[in-house]
Amino acid sequence: MISELHELIKNTKLTKKERLIADYVLANFRDACFITSTDLANILNVSHSSVIRFSRALGFTGYSDFQQTIRSQYNDYVASLGDAMSIPTFKLSQTADLLTQRSIMDDISKTTQDNIKSVMINNSDELFSQASDQIINSKIKYIVGSRGCHAIASFLSVILKDTLPFVFAEPSGSCNTFDFLSDITKNDCLIVVSYARYSELSFLAAELAHKKGATVIVLTDTPTAPLAKYSTFLFTHSVNSISFFNSIIPGMYTAEVLATYICQKVGRNNEEKLRLIDHYTTKLKLY
């Protein structure tokens, strides 16, 4: 529904206040289709002129023109859904309110469902298909993700390593990220995972790969994320949780969908490789 708006925001240079407006519109798309520019300004505690400038920065004549466009996108989306699923919403209650209203398990279940819905809404089948083709066709595949993003990057590196040749995960120890990426070329790709608070290391890795002409595939939470501007393929989703940390579930879901697209396209071409791996892992009782 909002993939066009994602792409537009990604490729537009916005001020800090304009990024704030962009993030709110993307996270509250349904509400943004109907609230006035004055109400939007009041909600975000910005000036009315900031809302107008945001609309014009995206290439619209004003807020009315912008709102008509996103309302049309929303209406098309609702019409396409039919009865298949309820309209996803990104507007989540504050953590404290949630904890007083329901059990932790109920809270996490609802938040996780909303997060996964955001993957489905923000990222089209075409995006997954095109990105998977590019990964398969790239000579060398590099994967970067640190701290809370490491689990997602690690999962991708294991599955892709078992499926494709020349897959390398970001190293630890004496070899740093820039040693690791120093030979990347336009024939290669970098998959980088980063969520707020965004890793400066991941940002610089994306910048390096972009400057070398490589394909950059980014998994992050919003098209206004710093490293989004270097992406060839941009996957976004909410990572809300009821505690202080980001949820890794939507990132893992995105990674699993991407890996499954790749496995489907590769078919049984990696069967011999899997047999070789299985021969030795079985000896060590690693399953």
**What per-residue confidence (pLDDT) applies to 143?**
95
10: Cβ–Cβ under 8 A, 6 or more apart, which residues? 223, 224, 228, 229, 231, 234
Angle of helix 150-163 relative to helix 271-283, nearest 10 degrees, comes to 110
Residues 71 and 166 in one domain: no
Residues 143 and 274 in one domain: yes
Residue 117, domain member (yes or no): no
CATH code of the domain containing 31: 1.10.10.10
Residue 23, domain member (yes or no): yes
**What per-residue confidence (pLDDT) applies to 280?**
84
Identify the domain boundary among 51, 81, 111.
81
Residues 151 and 69 in one domain: no
Distance CA 252, CA 240 (A): 14
- Domain count for the chain: 2
Residue 76, domain member (yes or no): yes
CATH code of the domain containing 257: 3.40.50.10490
Structure tokens at 200: 């400066």
Burial class of 266 by CB neighbour count within 10 A (0 to 12, 13 to 18, 19+):
middle
Residues 252 and 151 in one domain: yes
Residues 52 and 188 in one domain: no
Identify the domain boundary among 81, 113, 137.
81
Q: What order of strands is seen across the sheet that includes strand 215-220?
A: 167-169, 141-144, 189-193, 215-220, 233-236
**What per-residue confidence (pLDDT) applies to 220?**
94
Residue 161, domain member (yes or no): yes
Residue 101, domain member (yes or no): no
Residues 134 and 212 in one domain: yes
Question: Which residue has 């890996």 as its token pair?
Answer: 259
Binned average pLDDT, 10 residues per bin, the chain of 287 residues: 75 90 84 83 91 92 87 64 36 43 75 90 92 97 91 93 91 78 95 90 94 96 88 92 85 96 90 82 77
Residue 108, domain member (yes or no): no
Residue 116, domain member (yes or no): no
Long-range contacts of 121-129 (CB under 8 A, 24+ apart): 121/1, 121/2, 121/88, 122/2, 122/3, 122/6, 122/235, 122/236, 122/237, 123/3, 123/235, 123/236, 123/237, 123/254, 124/3, 127/3, 127/233, 127/235, 128/257, 128/258, 128/261, 129/261
Distance CA 54, CA 71 (A): 17
**What per-residue confidence (pLDDT) applies to 86?**
29
**What per-residue confidence (pLDDT) applies to 84?**
38
Residues 39 and 163 in one domain: no
Structure tokens at 139: 């000579």
Residues 47 and 149 in one domain: no
Instruction: State which residues form the domain around 172.
Output: 122-282
Residue 201, domain member (yes or no): yes
Residues 157 and 265 in one domain: yes
User: What global pTM score does this model have?
Assistant: 0.70
